[in-house]
Amino acid sequence: MRRIQEDIKSGEFRQIYLLYGEERYLRRQYRDRLGRALCEGLDPMNIHVYEGKNISVGEIVDLAETVPFFSPRRVLLLDDSGLFKSGGEKMAEYLAQVPETAFFLFLESEVDKRGKLFKTVQAKGCAAEFVPQEEAVLKRWIAQRLKKEGKSGTESTIRLFLEKTGTDMEHISMELEKLVCYCLEAQEITERDVEAVCTARISSRIFDMVGAIAEKQPQKALRLYDDLLARKEPPLRILFLIARQCNLLLQVKEMKAKGYDNRTIGAKIGLPPFIAGKCVSQAARFPADELKRAVVRCVEAEEDVKTGKMNDQLGVEMLLLSVLSS
């Protein structure tokens, strides 16, 4: 990201850029900034935008080979082409010897780092990965966004807000807009405001449901389940997420027993350290054999539903009661 900022500031651009990774908000922010800088002062005839996987590499090559119209460069922006997952060999061969007037900007959610196209971009241009940001970074960003709106929030309020939203910056941005509008007349945003406005993601509710199981609180667990059903979440999806959370906690428990710290655990299971820390705390409330039984029962419940032995909604209810009674 720093390299892209330096290129924009200097006005000296590489011919190929690839922006990829899970963090969509940052990817798009940098795409917009880099795209504007690359296209500044260009005739629209020299700017070409492609979206989706139905892209003709031959057409792209023909455009790139065409001399730009009264301009030093021709810019091609390709959004989620899928070429970095499969079918990118022809593009890789072309980019190895791209003409000086052609500039490429790729935006991809997924890439195969072993692929020829990815390696070509790394060698010839700039490949920037956008990953979920750490808690401290997100807290600073949220505080800055609130300050721009003339508002503030305490450390505990911002932490609660993050627990509700997760680490996806696009989702955080939308929830912040709702929160600011709700607190239009107030300068300080409180935890009560967050509870009133911010929608907890389904993963957060599943976490709370598994927490209720750990605390042997059947009424709370079933209330959370009913709430998810009211939000039109399919029972089988809820079952899958319960199984995934239990399996995640089992992995966390085993890694913690081996002496790994939260940051290392988070890196191994693909979670930010502060969320990994919450999983560590939750896993500590379960014996390992209980988590193993829960995973097995989730598999059995899914099989019962898919073979028609039990209704999907009832199947999840029976699973919750079974795990709670163990």
Q: What is the CA radius of gyration of the chain?
A: 24
83: helix, strand or coil? coil
Sequence ranges of the chain with CATH classification 1.10.8.60: 135-197
CA-CA distance, 288 to 290, in Å (whole number)? 5
> What is the CA angle 204-206-207, rounded to 5?
65
d(CA 60, CA 36): 20
Class of domain 2-129: alpha beta
The predicted structure's pLDDT at residue 117? 95
Cα–Cα dist 125/121, whole Å? 5
pLDDT in tens, 186-198: 999 999 999 888 8
Architecture of the domain spanning 135-197: Orthogonal Bundle (1.10)
List of the chain residues with pLDDT < 70 = 200, 324-326
- Residue 201 CA: distances (Å) to CA of 139, 227, 275: 18, 12, 14
Phi first, then psi: give them for residue 19, nearest 5 degrees.
-110, 120
State how far the Cα of 23 lies from the Cα of 5, in Å rounded to an integer.
17
> Which pLDDT score is estimated for 145?
94
The CA-to-CA distance between both ends of the chain, in Å, stands at: 50
| Integer angstrom CA distances of residue 83 from 106, 108, 111, 128 | 10, 9, 8, 16
- Take residue 203 and report the two structure tokens written for it: 């993963």
The predicted structure's pLDDT at residue 222: 87
Helical segments of 76-217, H only: 89-95, 116-124, 135-148, 155-165, 169-182, 191-197, 202-214
Per residue in 103-155, pLDDT (tens digit) is: 999 999 999 999 999 999 999 999 999 988 888 899 999 999 999 999 999 99
- Listed in sequence order, the residues at least 6 apart from 136 whose beta carbon sits closer than 8 Å to its beta carbon are none
pTM for the predicted model, two decimal places: 0.69
pLDDT of residue 146: 95
CA distance 22 to 168: 9
Question: Contact, 319 vs 301, CB < 8 A?
Answer: yes
Vertex 232 angle, CA 226 and 235, to 5° = 65
Return the pLDDT at 224. 87
pLDDT of residue 208: 86
The boundaries of every CATH 3.40.50.300 domain in the chain are 2-129
CATH 1.20.272.10 for domain 202-325, yes or no, is yes
Give me the pLDDT at residue 326, please. 64
Q: Using CA atoms of 213, 217, 219, 224 in order, give the dihedral in degrees to the nearest 10.
A: -40
User: What is the 8-class DSSP label of residue 44?
Assistant: G
